[in-house]
Structure 1
Amino acid sequence: MEAGKICGGEKPRILVATDGSLASEKAVTLAVNLARVLGGELHAVSVICDQLKRDEAHDAIERVKELFPDVHAVIREGHPASEIIECAGEVDADLIVTGSHNRSGLERVFIGSVSEKIVRHAGTSVLVARSSEIPKRVLIATDGSEHSRLAMELIRHVREKIPLKVTAVHVMDTSDPVSSQLFFEELQQRRDHALSMARKILGDSAECISVKGHPVSVIAEISARYDMVVLGSHGRSGIDHLLLGSVAERVARFSKSSTLIVRGKRLNTSP
């Protein structure tokens, strides 16, 4: 989702994926609510596949139309994650909203989930909805990077239209053998830089905290106290993705709250 669109009067384009399941119903309701509050343009897609027949896809789309008559809806056929991502590109979506089916164990390892594949491969921001309600309490992770800066700027602009209680958290990764060998002063400097950036962007009303531990474990655990957790994503692929891009994905997998992955490549923060 582009911060510039929210503060500059343009309509953000929101694409919601639906298969008629309870998980996607939460995503649909949240997407509809966001489109109304932000004045956005809503698109919906349902994908016919082995698990979803044509009449079921049609019913899922009709449900969206009942809630938001002006929706731009389409039914596609193929692999759900691939079709949803392709559709997002075709409509130039700023945000994909998808549900989470919360698979676990071997099913997750061997099959994964559509939402996880979208989070991993989409070129735009992704919101994994675990609630249909517009969030009020937001946790945003910051490491002082450009990606977290863009995520915080987005939340700052969203807050102009949606009252949000925002907490910024920086995790000092003392679990990493490499990081643990660094001078403690350097870790403190990184923390101070990240939290200073958060205070500057989010303002005095935002709470800023620092916690030691493994980033994924800490953020996932703390997120249970919030309606939504927000993370910037590097948007890398290949080996860079394995080394740097997995924190956001794993938080999206393990968090109990809705998770917004902000992709910097689609953020234009100028009005």
Structure 2
Amino acid sequence: MYERILVPTDGSVGSAHVALQAIDLAETYGASVHVLHVVDESVRAFVAGFGDESELDDRGEAAVERVAAMAREHGVDVVTAIEDGDPARRIVDYADEIEADLIVAGTHGRSGVERRLIGSVAERLVRRARCPVMTVRLPETDETVADDEAAAAIARDALVDAGIDATVTEVERQVSVWVVDAEGDDDSHLVYVDPVTRRTSIIP
């Protein structure tokens, strides 16, 4: 049903949840995920008048890499791109260029006067895109692993993938990471789980 899924991202808080929706679909259908960040041309022009524009590109790199890391962690093929232009128009054009089957986009859920004055990139995508658009409400946090059960499940999968036979014995949330203790017949392991990207690191 889907071969290429486009995920535009601006690095907003909660965008990891949007990415996970696309990644879950990609896993289900064997699709690739294309991650696009568009540097707003009007913002670049404004910043150019004051000096260094590199921060805009750095933010874009960080935004697409976060989603790419999540896709790779789930074994999904991923392609990243950073473009300049009007965000909604460039996303639509890029979707046409890669022949995307679906766009998965986050929305802030604006309404009323704010919606009329500012508008919504997601709303413009729904109106203009030639392929289906799935909109996902952006939550107020980037975290995608919010409880110890989810962290334990991810750690178990990582251990299995690494060929390690061990049982999770304890899960603790530290400042910026989940720490999972696991015990095997002959040794013990620590599994670190990133609460945003779900990336894991196993320490013997």
Q: What residue in structure 1 maps to residue 41 of structure 2?
A: 174
Quick check: 2:61–2:82 contact (8 Å CA) kept in 1?
no
- Cα deviation code 1:119-139 (max 9, x no counterpart): xxxxxxxxxxxxxxx322111
Distance 1:170 1:181 in 2: 22
Q: What residue in structure 1 maps to residue 26 of structure 2?
A: 159
Matched, 1:195 2:51: no
Note the C-alpha offset of 1:181: 4.2
Q: What residue in structure 1 maps to residue 137 of structure 2?
A: 263
- Cα deviation code 1:5-48 (max 9, x no counterpart): xxxxxxxxxxxxxxxxxxxxxxxxxxxxxxxxxxxxxxxxxxxx
Structure 2 SS opposite 1:257: coil
Task: Give the root-mean-square deviation of aligned CA atoms.
Answer: 2.7
Q: What residue in structure 2 maps to residue 226 of structure 1?
A: 100
Distance 1:266 1:186 in 2: 24
Note the C-alpha offset of 1:244: 5.5
Matched, 1:149 2:21: no
Size of the aligned set, in residue pairs, is 138
Q: Normalising by the residue count of structure 2, what TM-score does the alignment of the two structures yield?
A: 0.59
Quick check: 1:173–1:179 contact (8 Å CA) kept in 2?
no
Summarize the alignment of residues 111-130 of structure 1 with structure 2, pairs less than 5 Å apart.
Answer: none
Summarize the alignment of residues 1-271 of structure 1 with structure 2, pairs less than 5 Å apart.
Answer: 134-176=1-43, 178=46, 181=49, 183-203=52-72, 205-224=77-96, 225-242=99-116, 246-265=120-139, 269-270=144-145, 271=150
Greater strand content: 2
Distance 1:243 1:208 in 2: 31
Identity %: 28
Distance 1:179 1:251 in 2: 26
Distance 2:29 2:39 in 1: 30
Distance 1:153 1:229 in 2: 13
Note the C-alpha offset of 1:236: 2.2
Code of the aligned partner of 1:238: G
- Cα deviation code 1:139-169 (max 9, x no counterpart): 1101111243211112222333221111101
Structure 2 SS opposite 1:145: coil
Distance 2:26 2:32 in 1: 9
CA gap 1:213/1:263 in 2 versus in 1, 3 angstroms: same
Of structures 1 and 2, the larger Rg is shown by 2
Note the C-alpha offset of 1:239: 4.2
Structure 2 SS opposite 1:139: strand
Structure 1 SS opposite 2:29: coil
Note the C-alpha offset of 1:230: 1.3
Structure 2, unpaired ranges of 5+: 151-204
CA gap 1:165/1:243 in 2 versus in 1, 3 angstroms: farther
Structure 1, unpaired ranges of 5+: 1-133
